[in-house]
Chains A and B, each alone.
Chain A
């Protein structure tokens, strides 16, 4: 899937439902594999336990990075600022979207269910920047830059 604009990026984000999410606070980075859902405005949503490391990091430092990868297709790297979704109606809609994402693959079962933890907290990442690496070509090196950069501000 050749990705060179926002429309294609959104299509790629919607096709997938798992991301690697990086958070940090002071000298403690943390990376986690997360179930996500995306809306048409490039807001990415995920739910985690309130007492998880990533949640604690994000409550102190709302800057996050993520990557989403598909073999022989593309890698998306992105950054943004995270906020907590507090509105009950919005939370419910997001949980519906996450449940839909989790049902895409018949055998997939979100890892968060295996972990005992506090109640859920729902985060929204408003993307500010993204970079797409084209992985479709199979040559050793590439003449033009394989990266496409997108800004969302």
Chain B
């Protein structure tokens, strides 16, 4: 099991159960503590206050004007070096190349498509960002 480190998960607001299940699975299978949020503003608040080890964000945030890629942009442009360097994993239903390219161009560290992976695969792909 990896060293316990805080992760911040942001998931589409219409799927609050998915967020909770991922949180439990991450804790049980990888030992990670996860803070859940579901909007751009909520996520910014948590990032600034708690400075989690890394961020996993969906792109579509239903109850936000801004999306997960705006969040990624905010992080990379932050004056706070700890925040600017935070690993960001995009975790989405959008599997098209232009979506992936946009995310990597903005500085995403990893791009995970929900329809292509099991939770164990997600944990494996994220583990490399845990120091």
Give a binary string over A102-117; 1 marks a CB under 8 Å from any B CB, 0 the rest.
1100100110110000
Query: Which B residue's beta carbon lies closest to that of A122?
Result: B17
By the criterion CB–CB under 8 Å, are B24 and A99 in contact?
A: yes
A residues near B24, Cβ cutoff 8 Å: 99-100, 102-103
Main secondary structure of the interface of A (DSSP, over half): helix
Q: A119-B14, A120-B14 known; A106 and B29 CB under 8 Å?
A: yes
Q: How large is the interface on A (under 10, 10 to 19, 20 to 34, 35 or more residues)?
A: 10 to 19
B residues near A103, Cβ cutoff 8 Å: 21, 24-25, 28
By the criterion CB–CB under 8 Å, are B21 and A120 in contact?
A: no
B residues near A96, Cβ cutoff 8 Å: 20
Q: How large is the interface on B (under 10, 10 to 19, 20 to 34, 35 or more residues)?
A: 10 to 19
Report if A47 contacts B (CB, 8 A): yes
Q: How many A-B residue pairs have CB under 8 A?
A: 39
Report if A95 contacts B (CB, 8 A): yes
Between B17, B18, B24, B118, the greatest number of chain A beta carbons within 10 A of the residue's beta carbon is seen for B17
Q: A95-B16, A99-B17, A99-B23 known; A109 and B118 CB under 8 Å?
A: yes
Known interface pairs A95-B20, A103-B28, A106-B28; 14 further A-B residue pairs with C-beta atoms within 8 A, sorted by A's residue number: A92-B16, A95-B17, A98-B17, A99-B17, A99-B21, A100-B24, A102-B17, A102-B21, A106-B25, A106-B29, A109-B118, A112-B17, A119-B14, A120-B14
The contact sample of 15 A-B pairs, CB cut-off 8 A, is A95-B16, A95-B17, A98-B17, A99-B21, A99-B23, A99-B24, A102-B17, A102-B21, A103-B25, A103-B28, A106-B29, A109-B21, A112-B17, A119-B14, A120-B15
A interface, CB within 8 angstroms of B: 47, 92, 95-96, 98-100, 102-103, 106, 109-110, 112-113, 119-120
